[in-house]
Amino acid sequence: MEYEAVIGLEVHVQIKAESKIFTTCPAGFGYEPNSLTDPVILGLPGALPVMNKKALDGIIKAGLALKCKIPDVCKWDRKNYFYPDSPNNYQITQFDQPICDGGEVEIELPGSTRAVMGDHRTVKLTRIHLENDVGKLSHFSEDSLVDYNRAGTSLMEIVSDPDMSSAEEAFAFLTSIRQTMIYCGISDCDMEKGQMRADANISVRPVGQTELGAKIELKNLNSITGVKNGIDYEIRRQTSELKKGRKIIQATWRWDADHGRTEEMRKKEDAHDYRYFPDPDLMPVMVDDEWKNRLQAEIPELPFEKQRRYVLDYDLPYSITSVLVPDRELSEYFEEAVTQAPKSGQAIGNFIANDLLRELSDAKQSLSDCKVRAAHLLSLVSAIDKGVITKQIAKEVFTEMFNTGELADEVIERKGLKPDFDEDQVKAWCEEAIAENPKPVEDFRSGNEKALNSLKGQVMKKSRGKANPQVVDGMIRDILS
Amino acid sequence: MSQEIFYKTATELSQSLAKKELSSVELTQAIIDRTQAVDDKVGAFNSRDEKDALAQAEASDARRASGDGRGPLDGIPIGIKDVLAVKGQPLTCSSKMLGNFVSPYDATCIQKLKSSGSVLWGRLNMDEFAMGSSTENSATKVCSNPWNLECVPGGSSGGSAAAVSAGQAVVSLGSDTGGSIRQPAAFCGIVGLKPTYGRVSRFGLAAFASSLDQVGPMGRSVEDVAMVLQSISGHDERDSTSFKAEVVDYVAAMEQLKGKKWTLGLPKEYFDLAADTAAIEPVLKAIDFYKSIGCEVKEVSLPHTEYAIATYYVVATAEASSNLARYDGVRYTHRAESYDDHIDLYFKSRAEGFGEEVKRRIMLGTYVLSSGYYDAYYLKAQKVRTMIRGDFMKAFEEVDALIAPTSPIPAFKKGEKSADPLSMYLSDIYTISANLAGIPGMSLPCGFSAEGLPIGLQILGKPFKEEELLSIGQAFESAHDFKNQHPQL
At A332, the amino acid letter reads: E
pLDDT in tens, B124-162: 999 999 999 999 999 999 999 999 999 999 999 999 999
CA–CA distance, B133 with B154 (Å, rounded to integer): 5
Specify whether the CB–CB gap between B320 and B312 falls below 8 A.
no
Chain A positions touching B332 (Cβ under 8 A) are 42, 44
DSSP annotation string for B139-172: SS----BTTBTTB---SSSHHHHHHHHTTS-SEE
Which residue intervals of B354-465 are DSSP H helices?
356-369, 380-398, 421-426, 429-437
Ramachandran angles phi, psi of A138, nearest 5°: -125, 130
How buried is B299 (Cβ within 10 angstroms: 0-12 exposed, 13-18 middle, 19+ buried)?
exposed
Distance from CA of A47 to the nearest CA of B (A): 6
Mean pLDDT of chain A: 92
Specify whether the CB–CB gap between A99 and A130 falls below 8 A.
yes
CB-based contact, A357 to chain B, within 8 Å: no
Hey, of B173, B330, B339, B350, which one would you mutate to test binding to chain A, going by the most A CBs within 10 A of its CB?
Answer: B330
Q: Do A80 and B369 touch (CB under 8 A)?
A: yes
A478 has pLDDT over 90: no
Closest CB to B240: pick one of A43, A274, A281.
Answer: A281
Instruction: For chain B, positions 329-388, list CB contacts with chain A under 8 A.
Output: 330-332, 342-343, 346, 366, 369-371, 374, 378
Please report which helix (H) or strand (E) contains residue B124, including its range: strand B119-124
CA–CA distance, B295 with B290 (Å, rounded to integer): 5
Q: What is the pLDDT of residue A266?
A: 87
Of the candidates A377, A291, A297, the one whose C-alpha atom is nearest the C-alpha of residue A341 is: A377
Q: Give the chain A residue whose CA is nearest to the CA of B243.
A: A283
Ramachandran angles phi, psi of A443, nearest 5°: -60, -45
CA–CA distance, B429 with B260 (Å, rounded to integer): 30
Which positions of B are annotated as active-site residues? 81, 156, 180
Q: Give the chain A residue whose CA is nearest to the CA of B198.
A: A281
Q: What is the pLDDT of residue A268?
A: 78
Ramachandran angles phi, psi of B246, nearest 5°: -60, 145
SS3 label, residue A106: strand
Chain A positions touching B98 (Cβ under 8 A) are 45
Q: Give the chain B residue whose CA is nearest to the CA of A285.
A: B240
Q: What is the pLDDT of residue B276?
A: 67
Specify whether the CB–CB gap between A40 and A23 falls below 8 A.
yes
Specify whether the CB–CB gap between A296 and A64 falls below 8 A.
yes
Q: What is the pLDDT of residue B1?
A: 38
Q: Which residues neighbour A199 within 8 Å (Cβ) at sequence distance 6 or greater?
A: A9, A10, A217, A218, A219, A221
A269 has pLDDT over 80: no
At A130, the amino acid letter reads: L
At A96, the amino acid letter reads: D
Specify whether the CB–CB gap between B390 and B438 falls below 8 A.
no
CA B177-B183-B184 angle, to 5 degrees, is 105
What does each of the 489 residues of chain B score in pLDDT, given as a tens digit?
Answer: 357 999 999 999 999 999 999 999 999 999 999 999 999 999 999 999 999 999 999 999 999 999 999 999 999 999 999 999 999 999 999 999 998 999 999 999 999 999 999 999 999 999 999 999 999 999 999 999 999 999 999 999 999 999 999 999 999 999 999 999 999 999 999 999 999 999 999 999 999 999 999 999 999 999 999 999 999 999 999 999 999 988 899 999 999 999 999 999 999 999 887 666 777 899 999 999 999 999 999 999 999 999 999 999 999 999 999 999 999 999 999 999 999 999 999 999 999 999 999 999 999 999 999 999 999 999 999 999 999 999 999 999 999 999 999 999 999 999 998 888 888 888 899 999 999 999 999 999 999 999 999 999 999 999 999 999 999 999 999 999 999 999 998
Specify whether the CB–CB gap between B168 and B134 falls below 8 A.
no
SS3 label, residue A217: strand
CA–CA distance, A26 with B488 (Å, rounded to integer): 55
Higher pLDDT, A430 or B209: B209
Of the candidates B100, B132, B82, the one whose C-alpha atom is nearest the C-alpha of residue A46 is: B82
Q: What is the CA radius of gyration of chain A?
A: 30
Q: Do B84 and A82 touch (CB under 8 A)?
A: no
Q: Rounded to an integer, what is the distance from CA A48 to the centroid of its chain?
A: 38
pLDDT in tens, A95-154: 999 999 999 999 999 999 888 899 999 999 999 999 999 999 999 988 899 999 999 999
Chain A positions touching B327 (Cβ under 8 A) are 45
CA–CA distance, B242 with B414 (Å, rounded to integer): 36
Q: What number of other Cβ atoms are within 10 A of residue A154's Cβ?
A: 27
Q: Do B342 and A89 touch (CB under 8 A)?
A: no
Q: Do B326 and A87 touch (CB under 8 A)?
A: yes
Q: What spatial distance separates the first Cα and last Cα of chain B, rounded to whole Å? A: 18
DSSP B8: S
Q: Do A275 and B366 touch (CB under 8 A)?
A: yes
Higher pLDDT, A27 or A390: A27
Hey, of B322, B327, B344, B383, which one would you mutate to test binding to chain A, going by the most A CBs within 10 A of its CB?
Answer: B322
Closest CB to B325: pick one of A39, A45, A80.
Answer: A80
CB-based contact, B319 to chain A, within 8 Å: yes
Chain A positions touching B329 (Cβ under 8 A) are none
Give me the percent of chain A exceeding a pLDDT of 90: 74
